[in-house]
Structure 1
Amino acid sequence: MRYSILLSFGPTRPEQVVPFANLVKWTAAERLWQGQGMVLESHHLMTWLAGLGIRVPAGFGVSLMPFRSPYQAAVEARSVALATGHPVVAGFGPGSASIQTGLLGRPYPSQLTACREYVQAVRGLLTGRPVELSGAYHNLAANLLPTPAPPVSVGLGVLRPKMAALAGAVADVAITWMGSAEYVGGTLIPAIRGAERDLPEPAKVTAIVPVALSGPDRDVTALATAACGSHAQLPHYRDTLRRAGIEVSGERTGADAMRLVDGGVFLYGTVDEIHKRLDEYRDAGVDEVVLNATGVGLAHGPRAAARDLLEILTAIPGEARTKGEP
């Protein structure tokens, strides 16, 4: 299993990202992941770093489909691969119903159809061949200008079994979020592996996992709330958690936060305790785990988040410290 890191805060200046990119350069971290950039655009940050001379593999998990057309998505992902000189994982998701309504005028009547069309369009464009698509949500007749570039893997954000099956059918990577190792291994991965797939290689599984080291200045309830509270308020996340046996009120309470800790969604403890819980993802069949210290970043600042990530990465078992090693 490979280890990567998620940018643990929303930067307002690009230089704030440098310490996290350097963690990827200097440690066993495979890739620097970002979610949807709401202040500084995520792809622009990676090309800014590349221009500074800090070129590291990038992952986007996930970029929200309503923000960009499939063509623009393919251009941006390939641009990052060209600028960094490294392979890219470009993950996409439909976003919440409120985001879809705000940007598109209404939610997608079928989330699965919209995602299928989007992923297939982006994957097709990245092959360099012309793409003709007349779909329910996306229409396209175009191709990217051909140029040699590092590969871009197209991912799909996965919360529930139907989206997991779709990722298993059409995506290169299935990207899970707020899923315990038990839920990922027992529910999502069987759906991914059971899908009918025409692509030559099976879909890889990347799990983005919220983590925080314990300490005398740490409040686990506050950290779990900061990391996961806003997501747990949304209906589709509450339904996902319910499927995993975790009932939350969606009211951003301390009780909800502790249910996420007790349910294995938010990992809190010493370095050794964190690694024991991360090993459960390996045992579940996850190919890559992305350490998400957002709770620490929001509660204690980016430096504290970077220190947590460094301690966890430094303690990776010796045989797994080589980048790219399974």
Structure 2
Amino acid sequence: MRYSLLLPIAVSRPEQAVPFANLVRWTRAQRFWQGQTYTIDNHHLVSWLAGIGIRVPTGFGVNLTPLRSPYHAATEARSTALATGCSVLAAYGPGATSYQRALLGRPYKSPLTATREYVTTVRALVRGESVKAEGAYCHTAARLVPAQSPPVKIGVGVLRPKMAAVAGQIADAAVTWLCPPAYLRDVLIPHMHKSSAEAARDPVPVTAVVPCALAKDGRDMRDMAFATVGQHLQAVHYQATLRHAGVEVTGRRTDADQLLGKDGFLYGTPSDIRDGLGRYADAGVDEVVLNVMGVAAIKGARAAVKELEEIFHVL
């Protein structure tokens, strides 16, 4: 299994990302991941890092489809690969219904169809194909200007079985958030493998973003868990996902106890974190992405860098 890291802070100056990106150069971390950003655009940040000499494999997960056309998404993903000289894995998802309505005027009638059309179009474009797509949501008649680029893979953000099936059919990868290993093993990955087999494709690899923190003096596990994933726990689609996984979300701090019990949040010594990540590997996950956003929020960015160093040291 591969290990990567998520940028755990919302940067307002690109210099703030340097220590985290450098961990991909200095530790076992293999990819520098970012979620959807709203201060400095995540593609722009990676290009800035490349400009000062920090060129590392990158991941975007999950970027939200209402923000950009498929052609724009393909251009950004490939331009990132060209700027860094390294591989890119860009995953996309529709976001919450309220988010779709805010940006598009109305939500997707079928988020599954919208995602299928979007990812299929972006994937074809970065592969150098000439695309003529006339779907319910994506209308594209174009191709990217030919250029020799490092590999660009296109993924799907997956939370529930139907989107897992879409990923298995059309994507290069599936990227999950807040999905405990048993739920991945018993529900999502079987759906992906089944749909991949039906499409006569190899099984789609799975990347799991895993929230975690080290147990240290003066820390409270519930505070750390809520600082890491509390915002997601307020979202209806994440609540539905966790209920599918056997976690009854109430919006209270006690939700952290259930997350910890299901390995949806890892907390303990570096060895405990290593063992918890091993359970993701046993579930069939190909890459785990360490998410220490709670540490950064409560203790600061410097503490988050040290946290990641300690965990990678034992991996």
CA distance in 1, matches of 2:24, 2:66: 30
CA distance in 2, matches of 1:157, 1:187: 15
Q: CA deviation at 1:200?
A: 4.9
SS in 1 for 2:238: helix
- Counterpart of 1:193 in structure 2 is 193
CA distance in 2, matches of 1:111, 1:99: 12
- Counterpart of 2:223 in structure 1 is 222
SS in 2 for 1:304: helix
SS in 1 for 2:254: helix
SS in 2 for 1:179: coil
CA distance in 2, matches of 1:268, 1:72: 39
Q: What amino acid does structure 2 have at the position aligned with 1:90? A: A
- Counterpart of 1:270 in structure 2 is 269
Q: Is the 8 A contact 1:224 1:258 kept in 2?
A: no
CA distance in 2, matches of 1:191, 1:56: 32
Measured at CA, do residues 128 and 199 of structure 1 come closer, stay the same or move farther in structure 2, by a change above 3 Å? farther
Q: Is the 8 A contact 2:47 2:80 kept in 1?
A: yes
Deviating runs (4+, > 2 A) in structure 1? 196-202
The percentage of counterpart residues that share the same residue type is 54
CA distance in 1, matches of 2:224, 2:238: 18
- Counterpart of 1:324 in structure 2 is none
After superposition, give the CA deviation of every residue in 1:89-133 in whole Å (9 maximum; x if it has no partner).
001010111110010001111010000000000011111121011
What does 1:77-226 align with in structure 2 at a 5 Å threshold? 77-196=77-196, 198=199, 200-226=201-227
- Gaps spanning 5+ residues in structure 1: where? 317-326
SS in 2 for 1:194: helix
Q: CA deviation at 1:61?
A: 0.6
Matched, 1:26 2:18: no
Aligned length: 314
Q: CA deviation at 1:77?
A: 0.3
Q: CA deviation at 1:258?
A: 2.2
Q: TM-score, normalised by structure 2?
A: 0.98
SS in 1 for 2:133: strand
Q: Is the 8 A contact 1:170 1:199 kept in 2?
A: no
**Which stretch shows the higher mean deviation, 63-72 or 198-207?**
198-207
- Counterpart of 2:290 in structure 1 is 291
- Counterpart of 1:73 in structure 2 is 73
Q: CA deviation at 1:254?
A: 1.1
- Counterpart of 1:300 in structure 2 is 299
Q: CA deviation at 1:198?
A: 4.2
Q: Is the 8 A contact 2:169 2:201 kept in 1?
A: no
Q: What amino acid does structure 2 have at the position aligned with 1:232? A: L
Q: CA deviation at 1:199?
A: 6.9
After superposition, give the CA deviation of every residue in 1:178-227 in whole Å (9 maximum; x if it has no partner).
01111111111101101045475431110100010000021111110111
- Counterpart of 1:246 in structure 2 is 247
CA distance in 2, matches of 1:153, 1:199: 19
What does 1:301-320 align with in structure 2 at a 5 Å threshold? 301-316=300-315
